[in-house]
Structure 1
Amino acid sequence: MLIGYARVSTDDQHLDGQRSVLRAAGCQLIYEEKISGAKRKRPELTRLLEHLREGDIVVVSRLDRLARSTQDLLELVDIFQHTSVGLRSLAEPWADTTSPSGKMVLTIFAGIAEFERALISERTSAGRHAAKMKGVRFGRPMKLSVEQVALGRRLISEGRSVRDTARILNCHHATLYRALNNVVGLPDEELDTVQIVFDTNR
């Protein structure tokens, strides 16, 4: 069955044009709604997805009536493929998953989208690393101030155990240990000393 989907963004827009071309294309059933495509939850689209059966073909006048981004489109195509449902856009002949060329184009789109996600993830990781190198800390705020950590380092370097130092700073020894290890710019040799002192005074 050819099932049409028509959408406009506002109540003052009309669906007549989309309805006409979908009927002319042979759609036996058309789901229509007036709602922004930016909204992920669209009642009529949900009804359409629930109605689909194996072998059906979803037809739209243009792809932007169905999805507002490449990612949204690919997610819907994935749903269609899992239920053996096709997708056809009347304005974009290349977007027809019932044809080999259409499947190939959408596969390329999926590859590009995956590549873009990988680039974003890589840039984010690089940004976090650069920020850490500059002293920016991520995650929960430290329970100890920089001054308290500095005092803790000094007391430990003078021979006090981590547990005794933690009692002086009124915190758990594990909290102090984490703070000492998270101090940005702590020289490796000092960090090694703190590790050894902590291990021998647990």
Structure 2
Amino acid sequence: MKKIGYVRVSSVDQNPARQLMQLEVIDVDIMYQEKVSGATRERPELQKMMAELQSGDTIYVTDLTRITRSTRDLFELVDEIKSKGANLKSLKDAWLDLSEENPYSHFLMTVMGGVNQLERDLIRMRQREGIELAKKEGKYIGRLKKYHKNHPGMKHAIELYEAGGKTVKEITEITNIPPASFYRGLKNHKEDQINE
């Protein structure tokens, strides 16, 4: 029977120190940690932990959003943990305890999972509303293209194309510009010339 810690942050520039400190206080036997989005269960350390999970083990997380980001994934994960005779405990969500057949725990898990999903949906909705407002006010630029017209490689690729004597394949190999990006840049360049 092992105490297992699972720590996850969404990106490499985020610091897992707070989670690690909270889990070290409860003296876990083994720690799994990764820096990857929680939107999917296809996470190497999560998969490894689940493969090594044994009956009687307990997985500890600081809060449920560290181990899952959707209600459906939470239920699938809980079912898998229970089928192995193991337990999942969240330090923040103290109501969650799979060690007993507790209908209240299952009910609260459903409610909390729904609340988490609602919160994410509301964040996405506010982002969309903010973008729409910024567009109306003319402040929204959108995602910057990597290979814009002032990109040195794109400029060189168009120069080579206009000079002639080279195929598109040769140009994209010389400049390391992907063919689709080159064609898009070339189209924009021609449109700019027409509009001048």
Taking structure 2 as the reference length, what is the TM-score of the superposition?
0.53
Residue in structure 2 matched with residue 8 of structure 1 by the alignment: 9
* Matched length: 111
Larger radius of gyration: 1
Q: How does 1:10-25 map to 2 (within 5 A)?
A: 10-25=11-26
Deviations 1:41-87 (A, max 9, x none): 00000000011111000000000000101111111010011000000
Mapped partners of 1:111, 1:17: distance in 2: 27
Q: Secondary structure at the match of 2:78?
A: helix
User: Pairwise CA RMSD of aligned residues?
Assistant: 2.0
Residues 15/110 of structure 1: CA separation in 2 closer, same or farther (3 Å cut): closer
Asked if 1:108 is matched to 2:107, the reply is yes
**Where in structure 1 do 4 or more consecutive aligned residues deviate above 4 Å?**
109-113
Mapped partners of 2:26, 2:94: distance in 1: 13
Is contact 2:10-2:36 (8 Å) kept?
yes
Is contact 1:61-1:89 (8 Å) kept?
yes
Residue in structure 2 matched with residue 32 of structure 1 by the alignment: 33
Is contact 1:88-1:98 (8 Å) kept?
no
1:109 shift after superposition: 5.3
Q: Secondary structure at the match of 1:12?
A: coil
Mapped partners of 2:24, 2:100: distance in 1: 21
Residues 89/110 of structure 1: CA separation in 2 closer, same or farther (3 Å cut): closer
Q: Secondary structure at the match of 2:81?
A: helix
Residues 112/24 of structure 1: CA separation in 2 closer, same or farther (3 Å cut): closer
Is contact 2:5-2:30 (8 Å) kept?
yes
Residue in structure 2 matched with residue 80 of structure 1 by the alignment: 81
Q: Which amino acid aligns with 2:64?
A: L
Residue in structure 1 matched with residue 65 of structure 2 by the alignment: 64
1:23 shift after superposition: 1.1
Q: Which amino acid aligns with 1:104?
A: P
Q: How does 1:162-181 map to 2 (within 5 A)?
A: none
Unaligned regions of 5+ residues in structure 1, if any? 114-202
Taking structure 1 as the reference length, what is the TM-score of the superposition?
0.51
Identity among equivalent positions (%) equals 37
Residues 37/111 of structure 1: CA separation in 2 closer, same or farther (3 Å cut): closer
